[in-house]
Amino acid sequence: MTRLVIDPVTRVGGQLRVEAELSGGAVSEAWLSATSFRGIESILRGRPARDAWLLAQRVCGSCTGVHALASVRAVENALGLAVPRNARLVRNLITASTLVQEHVVNFYLRELPDWADPAAALTADPAVASALARSISDWANSDSDWFAAARDRLAALVKPGASGPFANAYTGHPAYRLPPEASLMLYGHYLEALDWQRQLVRIRTILGGKSPHPQTYLVGGMASAPEWGGPTRPSPDEHPSTRHSPPPLSLIGLADIDALLMAATRFVNSAFAGDVLAVAAHYPEWQKLGRGIGHYLSFGEFALADSQPAQLLLARGRVMDRDFANPRAIDQESVAESVDHAWYEYADVHDALLHPATGQTRPRYAGPALPYSSLAGMDRYSWTKAPRYADDPMEVGALARLLVAYGAGNSYVRSAVDRVAFELEGGMDAFFSTVGRTVARAIEAQLIAARMGEWLCELVANLAQGDLALVNLDAWDPARWPGRASGFGLAEGPRGAIGHWLTIRDGRIADYQIVDGSTWNGSPRDNRGRPGACEQALVGTPVADPNRPLEVLRTIHSFAVCPACAVH
Ligand code: NI
Ligand code: MG
């Protein structure tokens, strides 16, 4: 038996350590350890509940905004508040832009170095890369001059001694199987994704004031200023100190969003979608590896109407044992967390699992003395709690959302998933794999980007009819709130199902509990010793070279695990 340790795992959002036992050249058991404590739930206690979202969104800078959304929903749920149509649409647009951005960024910046050798791309013939790119998609930047220039830019990052993303790359690893030209095509788009991201983020800076961490949420709605038929674009001669940006919900602001969205969507539908399938085609065995526990949970997202409970674009539900034809209904009461293998304790309770409404965050480090070389034999080994649904470990994220929506009869999801399944060697079964998670994010990014255009049209039409309402003022004054109230907010982030639970006393937060998508996927073992989703998916992973465990990284990155979010 060989013990493998990766610490820190890079290309994830936060501090993550992975240990694995190898036997017969493959992983037989794995442990995910989030190695930093954060304490945001404790920081929130005693603060004004109106401000909860502002602090709670600091859970993460890349899953940014989605924690503001879950938080503001929790307070609105406690107060029984509905939000106006414009606020619903603005929230959909902000959240959708985060999902699309993170799916693209996860593929190029976090996953691609696991599949394509950047050094191999330098040996590619740009003319062959150009022909390949043109055979896959109609993305504009695809002539041989463009790929020659991309190769030069990449060379500066890959050259020996260069700092940056490829400094410790596993150059020449035997598990890499892409031809040099495919690698150059993919790394050319990697470089483009950096600029693409910078542009897409502007949608959120218009609607949210800044990114990361949008500033325009309010309990009861949004604070993005509406000004219909408002000012003309400021003259470039105007002195910057006196120049005012147009209000976000003006004709100018909305036209800017439309242009940014159209440009972003082109890259998603051609370059990104084609690249993901190109990787999948070169690694058919990874359409069978990394299957994991086979239980999928989605809290559902993107309200399509103002009625309650709202109809959702991506349905709420769960799939058990990969039976996606028969998704089951869910309720938040069935969520509970174990700390039996985490560095926390539960005081004065005999239950191994606590529902978040009565949850506790009592850190108690019980790991080895620092610095340590192994967590072997450690009963408790992570700062991540172990959430369970109806006592079962669950996988969450884009794949879970698509499977639940597929089973619920969503015709857009069905046709997109069926079309891609037809192209995968493993067919529909290929979705239950390491590659399947990545393909699911590409499908979801296309679906959501298309919907964003519709929400933008709906918003423009609503404002044009004279409905400028953005916030429900019924609960504006906390002095008029009930003395005690409790609520929950569910949302879907780039990494999956998010829940916030809180109790309010005299306008202030008495208790606050968070379960993030990465808490589910990055979960340690639970009260019954069962591994979390990523730990289970790592079992069976072949490892050609224990000193360079490239294959292990593939499955970790397929979950887009964010340890900062997992711990919060
Ligand atoms: Ni995160
Ligand atoms: Mg928590």
pLDDT in tens, 501-531: 999 999 999 999 999 999 999 999 999 999 9
pLDDT in tens, 142-186: 999 999 999 999 999 999 888 889 998 999 999 999 999 999 999
Amino acid occupying residue 473? L
Distance from residue 209's CA to the centre of ligand 2 (Å): 28
pLDDT in tens, 304-331: 998 877 899 999 999 999 999 999 999 9
Distance from residue 105's CA to the centre of ligand 1 (Å): 13
Distance from residue 34's CA to the centre of ligand 1 (Å): 13
CA distance 190 to 109: 7
Residue 261 reports pLDDT greater than 80: yes
SS3 208: helix
The first and second tokens of residue 386, run together, are 């172990």
Distance from residue 62's CA to the centre of ligand 1 (Å): 5
Ligand nearest to the Cα of 565, by number = 1
The structure tokens 């979705």 sit at 431
Ligand nearest to the Cα of 383, by number = 2
Distance from residue 386's CA to the centre of ligand 2 (Å): 9
Q: What pLDDT is stored for residue 108 in this prediction?
A: 98
For ligand 1, a single-atom ion, the residues with CB < 5 A are: 13, 60, 63, 562, 565
pLDDT in tens, 68-102: 999 999 999 999 999 999 999 999 999 999 999 99
Please list, residue by residue across 44-54, b when 16 or more beta carbons sit within 10 angstroms of its beta carbon and e when fewer do: beeeebbebbb
Residue 256 reports pLDDT greater than 70: yes
Indicate the length of the chain as a whole number.
Answer: 568
Q: What pLDDT is stored for residue 458 in this prediction?
A: 97
Distance from residue 513's CA to the centre of ligand 2 (Å): 5
Ligand nearest to the Cα of 344, by number = 2
State the DSSP code for 314: E
Whether the Cβ atoms of residue 433 and residue 288 lie closer than 8 Å to each other: yes
Long-range contacts of 237-244 (CB under 8 A, 24+ apart): none
| Domain chopping of the chain, boundaries | 2-229+242-368+379-567
Q: What pLDDT is stored for residue 68 in this prediction?
A: 98
How many Cβ atoms sit within 10 Å of the Cβ of residue 285? 13
Main-chain phi, psi angles of 46, to 5 degrees: 90, -10
Distance from residue 82's CA to the centre of ligand 2 (Å): 26
Distance from residue 41's CA to the centre of ligand 2 (Å): 7
Distance from residue 477's CA to the centre of ligand 2 (Å): 29
CA distance 289 to 320: 19
Distance from residue 67's CA to the centre of ligand 1 (Å): 9
Confidence of residue 1 (pLDDT cuts 50, 70, 90): confident
pTM of the model: 0.96
Residue 476 reports pLDDT greater than 90: no
Amino acid occupying residue 168? N
The structure tokens 């709670």 sit at 56
Distance from residue 495's CA to the centre of ligand 1 (Å): 7
**Which stretch of DSSP H or E encloses residue 446?**
helix 434-464
The first and second tokens of residue 397, run together, are 């994220």
Ligand nearest to the Cα of 105, by number = 1
Beta-strand runs (E) in 124-277: 217-218, 221-222
How many Cβ atoms sit within 10 Å of the Cβ of residue 79? 19
Ligand nearest to the Cα of 59, by number = 1
Whether the Cβ atoms of residue 482 and residue 54 lie closer than 8 Å to each other: no
Q: What pLDDT is stored for residue 193 in this prediction?
A: 98
CATH topology of domain 2-229+242-368+379-567: Cytochrome-c3 Hydrogenase; chain B (1.10.645)
Whether the Cβ atoms of residue 490 and residue 300 lie closer than 8 Å to each other: yes
Distance from residue 18's CA to the centre of ligand 1 (Å): 18
